[in-house]
Amino acid sequence: MQWTLRMILATVMASILGCSEDHALPARFHEDRIDTPEHLTAEYVGGDVVLQWNISTPAEVLYYIVTLSEPGSGVEWKYTAPGDQQSFTVEFTWTDSVYIFHVEAVDATDFVGESSNADTVFIPQ
């Protein structure tokens, strides 16, 4: 009887002591999935804002998402730019305000990559 109890307890303890760590992290896919647009510049030219950026692997990009936000109101507008270009002209009804721009690349699986640096433009009226 006591040997049975001892064996049961030893088995339970050994199972806990010897249990494996079954919480391994999965492969971290999102960092290298698609490159990030870099060196984004925004310039107010002739009533429009012209954006330019660089990306090291443009062939992987299906299209870009250009985001324009107005900090004062917190409102955002989004545009899509073709994947084979690294510039975009934003046509907008500007008001006397500061606007912030950033760009994200999207691949063929609709995965939206990391946001580029933001650039700010003040539009005087």
Partner 1 sequence: MRNLVLALALIGIVTPGTIQAEDETFATRKIGTPRAAKFLSAVFPGLGQLSTGRRIAGTILVVSEMGALATTLTANENYKTRLDNFARLKVEYEEMSAGNSEHDIAQQRWSELTKEADDLDNLHRIRRVFAGVALGVYVYSMLDILLWDPPVSGTEVSWNLRAVPGARDAPTRLMIAGRF
Q: Under the rule (CB under 8 A), what is the footprint of partner 1?
A: 1-3, 5-6, 9-10, 13-14, 16-17, 19, 21-30, 33-34, 104, 107-115
Q: Give least dist CB 65 to partner 1, A.
A: 10
Minimum gap (Å) between residue 121 Cβ and partner 1:
23
Q: Which is nearer to partner 1, 22 or 91 (by Cβ)?
A: 22
Place of tokens 């109890």: 5
Q: Which pair of structure tokens corresponds to residue 67?
A: 């985001």
Cα 119 to chain center, whole Å? 16
Cα of 72 vs its chain's centroid, Å = 23
> Among residues 26 and 47, whose Cβ is nearest to partner 1?
26
Residues in the chain: 125
Backbone angles phi, psi at 5, to 5 degrees: -60, -40
39 C-beta neighbours (distance < 10 Å), count: 12
Closer residue to partner 1, CB minimum distance, 35 or 123: 35
Q: How far is the CB of 115 from partner 1 (least distance, A)?
A: 7
Q: CB of residue 37 vs partner 1: minimum separation in angstroms?
A: 12
